[in-house]
Chains A and B, each alone.
Chain A
């Protein structure tokens, strides 16, 4: 039980700052009382925005429109390439354009319930409120959302909801939204409101007198390490799903920005809350470098099944109806194939573990469109999912119009992230986190089409207000510049760190270590977790990490482009995060959303929460030792909603 001893109680830094009053009035109350910066004074403030995905690009563009001087950073070659571009399915908003009973409070309820009651009511309600503005904003920017013949916007439904509130642009919603935000950002770059530093990676955060003073970056083209000072710093650097090595994230997604901030004093919240997406293409071989998601929207028209018999050898189309198990429809009749992600994923895992998997490696389940093709015609199916079907065929080499797709769960999204208060400020004053990088709105499980919504809500409609509130008191006060000794010290540390990776001169590449680390985390801190496994991981990861420090091989030098060196720095941080994830999973002795502890399940095998003891956010404080962080708690109280057991039966 040693793990539980360091459980301390509520910490003064974890003040959520949610305004008092009725839920529906909180955001208005905040805005009415927030301090403002007068338009002429805004240009006296420099704001650094790291990341140009949906959250970062929207924040940078909006802050520049308001008049702040913005420096934006991305490790990509262009702001248009952020991982947000890969989102396929859609974005939620409580527009109720379909008149099917949607409302702000219903979206709020669905999100809290979907997150298994592990998120903050105040934040989530605000998210649902501003969701409607996002769609207006994006349409005005020229996002070509799908339309009905009458010219009005079309919607589809997504897992965990009984209304149609998802807006989409073919299977490329993330691309179209990101291009909208990128274009708005580009306009500001053209006008001189934003300076963009591309191919430039944040490698540390500088904190002076308890306040974020700026960042230290490494230029990926030259290797040069440089300091940047600002009045406020926003991290919109995405999620950490790549800790598993194989995930649906883009190859370069990493935790470095959030992790370096954590090491400088920002608490890291709920790192074990990771989401496994039920519909990805199963791993084909050992060279596999990433897994590809097949949008969840496919479950609107596809039926999930496995053969009833584990020894089944017939191809799918020869297996008669009576020998198929449409297990989601059987187990969850009211949501059927649209049961939430965590539930669908675990159901697939159980059947595959039982030997009922399909495909050459028996590592998938079928997602079958034959009924939809018969009912709607091939044209309609092609119109809805054409590009996804093509993508599947390119990767799997099979035609899903003729044979069912094979799918299996894969890591997809991380609900955990930097702890932030209602203002999206971390425990380091002046340092904000937005988008997937923060932990805020999704609790223990995120609903489909809600990440795009949250990223844009944070960047467009929340941060611009909360940052002004934070900056106003700093007017005409001087802040430390990059000549401050602390900047010099952190810069030197960063230079030494990168040189040290090169100096190890061992035998194994960063990718080797990343793959091995990923296997441990997937096996013990993936879809199902238990005490034994987590304890095993907590002893195996440090051993592998020691090996990394002794046996890493980075070829080439620190000057000029060196992708092996970039990777080494990112893997280093994944190791430290991995330890924290496992420790977080071990100390959360309940099951909630994506965190499924085998020991805590109902007789029917569903997640069993422990609201008595775990109705809180676990926020971890860095102590200097990755395996020995301090756990703090932010208690969650549900004033509007009753804590209830999630049921999708």
Chain B
């Protein structure tokens, strides 16, 4: 059954552009149903701002189903807010109480410059994928899909990692602004599969090197996995490190002998 929340104080980060100085703006939401999603609460706030002749708060969002990875937001200091394994767009107001104060900030990380208000630029993730986060298989030349059986546990583990939505919460949660969970997830997805073996070490090397150009280094805090809405496991980082290390001394000519 639905309830109405009263008197919420919302402190939201406003910043005009990448180099502008930002500040918190405080608004009071008198009442809102707890069936509303967190972003619907921001919609309500934005409608009010427009009615008052002010600029709406800029924030990224799209699917509102927890799958596109577009939404972000630090909510009371937590990436994607208080609910475990839940993106901001899937968070509902039933996670809050009347009279709560809610502090909303953008992702804060060196590699994710602020664009405006709560919107950041996460294209460094794309640069990493462009450097090697794929299996080279030009259109047209693929063999029959059932030619290479993939053991179910392998397919499942690969899928667990492939579930990453590229939201960047792991980076935002990390005290060092490291992207190891994101990159590890992509490397594990592809490097676990038989189809990914030919480029396994090249991929690990290229992606990790590109990651290092943009992001901080991992010191094993584990905040990333705790913040990850898809519960990507820290194991992917171990797998990435292992393949990266091997990549440094593996004789690629003997790859198919493993």
Contact of A636 with B by CB under 8 A: no
Contact of A418 with B by CB under 8 A: no
Contact residues in B for A390 (Cβ distance below 8 Å): 85
Contact residues in A for B35 (Cβ distance below 8 Å): 284-285, 287, 397
**Does A145 lie within 8 Å of B67, measured CB to CB?**
no
A561 and B146 CA atoms in complex are apart in Å by 47
Q: Which stretch (A186-194, A422-430, A522-530) binds chain B?
A: A186-194
A631 and B115 CA atoms in complex are apart in Å by 45
Contact of B58 with A by CB under 8 A: yes
**Does B50 lie within 8 Å of A139, measured CB to CB?**
no
Contact residues in A for B94 (Cβ distance below 8 Å): 397
Contact residues in A for B50 (Cβ distance below 8 Å): 509, 553, 555, 564
Sort chain B's interface into a size bin: 35 or more
Taken residue by residue from 126 to 149, chain B's Cβ proximity to chain A (1 for < 8 Å, 0 otherwise) reads as 100111111111111111111011
Contact of A360 with B by CB under 8 A: yes
Give residues 102-159 of A contacting B (CB, 8 Å): 133, 135-142, 144-153
Closest to A174 in B: B67
Best-surrounded residue of B49, B85, B126, B196 (most CB of chain A within 10 A): B126
Closest to A137 in B: B142
Contact residues in A for B119 (Cβ distance below 8 Å): 561
Taken residue by residue from 16 to 55, chain B's Cβ proximity to chain A (1 for < 8 Å, 0 otherwise) reads as 1100000000000000110111011101101101110111
Residue in A151, A186, A391 whose CB lies within 8 Å of B152: A151
Contact of A312 with B by CB under 8 A: no
Contact of A460 with B by CB under 8 A: yes
Contact residues in A for B125 (Cβ distance below 8 Å): 78
**Does A394 lie within 8 Å of B137, measured CB to CB?**
no
Contact residues in A for B36 (Cβ distance below 8 Å): 285, 287-288
Contact of B150 with A by CB under 8 A: yes
**Does B1 lie within 8 Å of A564, measured CB to CB?**
no
**Does A287 lie within 8 Å of B33, measured CB to CB?**
yes
Residue in A95, A293, A360 whose CB lies within 8 Å of B2: A360
The number of residue pairs between A and B whose CB atoms lie closer than 8 Å in the complex comes to: 229
Interface of B is mostly: loop
**Does B67 lie within 8 Å of A289, measured CB to CB?**
no
Task: Give, as a whole number of angstroms, the nearest-CB distance from B163 to chain A.
Answer: 7
Closest to B62 in A: A250
A563 and B42 CA atoms in complex are apart in Å by 13
Taken residue by residue from 179 to 204, chain A's Cβ proximity to chain B (1 for < 8 Å, 0 otherwise) reads as 10011101101100000001000000
**Does B67 lie within 8 Å of A172, measured CB to CB?**
yes
Contact status of A144 and B53, CB under 8 A, knowing A61-B139, A184-B137: no
Residue in B116, B126, B136, B149 whose CB lies within 8 Å of A560: B116
Task: Give, as a whole number of angstroms, the nearest-CB distance from A462 to chain B.
Answer: 11
A643 and B166 CA atoms in complex are apart in Å by 47
**Does A172 lie within 8 Å of B134, measured CB to CB?**
no
Contact status of A86 and B49, CB under 8 A, knowing A153-B146, A170-B159, A190-B130: no
Contact of B189 with A by CB under 8 A: yes
Contact of B177 with A by CB under 8 A: no
Task: Give, as a whole number of angstroms, the nearest-CB distance from A442 to chain B.
Answer: 22
Task: Give, as a whole number of angstroms, the nearest-CB distance from A40 to chain B.
Answer: 18
**Does A150 lie within 8 Å of B149, measured CB to CB?**
yes
**Does B65 lie within 8 Å of A86, measured CB to CB?**
yes
Residue in A175, A289, A360 whose CB lies within 8 Å of B39: A289
Contact of A79 with B by CB under 8 A: yes
A212 and B207 CA atoms in complex are apart in Å by 39
**Does B162 lie within 8 Å of A187, measured CB to CB?**
no
Task: Give, as a whole number of angstroms, the nearest-CB distance from A175 to chain B.
Answer: 6
A146 and B158 CA atoms in complex are apart in Å by 11
Give residues 284-327 of A contacting B (CB, 8 Å): 284-285, 287-290, 292-293
Contact residues in A for B17 (Cβ distance below 8 Å): 560
**Does B56 lie within 8 Å of A564, measured CB to CB?**
yes
Contact status of A179 and B139, CB under 8 A, knowing A186-B126, A287-B43, A561-B116: no
A250 and B61 CA atoms in complex are apart in Å by 9
**Does A137 lie within 8 Å of B137, measured CB to CB?**
yes
Closest to A252 in B: B62
A10 and B103 CA atoms in complex are apart in Å by 61
Residue in A79, A144, A287, A563 whose CB lies within 8 Å of B58: A563
Contact residues in A for B163 (Cβ distance below 8 Å): 170, 172, 175
A58 and B85 CA atoms in complex are apart in Å by 31
**Does A509 lie within 8 Å of B47, measured CB to CB?**
yes
Contact residues in A for B149 (Cβ distance below 8 Å): 147, 150-152
Contact residues in B for A250 (Cβ distance below 8 Å): 62-65, 68
**Does A186 lie within 8 Å of B134, measured CB to CB?**
yes
Contact status of A285 and B33, CB under 8 A, knowing A80-B166, A145-B155: yes
Contact of B180 with A by CB under 8 A: no
Contact residues in A for B66 (Cβ distance below 8 Å): 391, 394
A86 and B62 CA atoms in complex are apart in Å by 10
Task: Give, as a whole number of angstroms, the nearest-CB distance from B202 to chain A.
Answer: 12
A83 and B122 CA atoms in complex are apart in Å by 18
Task: Give, as a whole number of angstroms, the nearest-CB distance from B140 to chain A.
Answer: 8
Contact status of A555 and B130, CB under 8 A, knowing A95-B145, A140-B137: no
**Does B155 lie within 8 Å of A144, measured CB to CB?**
yes
Closest to A461 in B: B139
Contact of A32 with B by CB under 8 A: no
A77 and B148 CA atoms in complex are apart in Å by 35
**Does B64 lie within 8 Å of A152, measured CB to CB?**
no
Contact status of A563 and B56, CB under 8 A, knowing A137-B139, A144-B159: yes
Give residues 53-77 of A contacting B (CB, 8 Å): 58, 61-62, 65, 76-77
**Does B166 lie within 8 Å of A78, measured CB to CB?**
yes
Task: Give, as a whole number of angstroms, the nearest-CB distance from B255 to chain A.
Answer: 17
A391 and B37 CA atoms in complex are apart in Å by 13
A166 and B69 CA atoms in complex are apart in Å by 26
**Does A460 lie within 8 Å of B40, measured CB to CB?**
no
Given contacts A172-B67, A250-B68, A563-B56, 18 further A-B contacts (CB under 8 A): A77-B122, A78-B122, A139-B148, A140-B135, A140-B137, A141-B134, A151-B151, A251-B64, A285-B36, A289-B39, A394-B86, A394-B92, A509-B47, A511-B47, A555-B55, A563-B58, A564-B46, A564-B50
30 A-B pairs with C-beta separation under 8 A:
A76-B70, A80-B126, A81-B62, A83-B62, A136-B142, A136-B144, A139-B148, A140-B142, A141-B135, A142-B135, A142-B196, A144-B156, A144-B159, A151-B150, A169-B159, A183-B135, A186-B129, A187-B130, A251-B63, A251-B64, A287-B43, A292-B64, A293-B65, A360-B1, A390-B85, A394-B66, A553-B51, A555-B49, A555-B50, A560-B116
Nearest 10 A/B pairs, CB to CB = A151-B149, A183-B134, A190-B130, A140-B142, A136-B142, A140-B137, A144-B159, A139-B145, A284-B35, A144-B158
Q: Which positions in A face B, CB cutoff 8 Å?
A: 58, 61-62, 65, 76-81, 83, 85-86, 95, 97, 133, 135-142, 144-153, 169-170, 172, 174-176, 179, 182-184, 186-187, 189-190, 198, 221, 250-252, 284-285, 287-290, 292-293, 360, 390-391, 394-395, 397, 460-461, 464, 507, 509, 511-512, 553, 555-556, 560-564
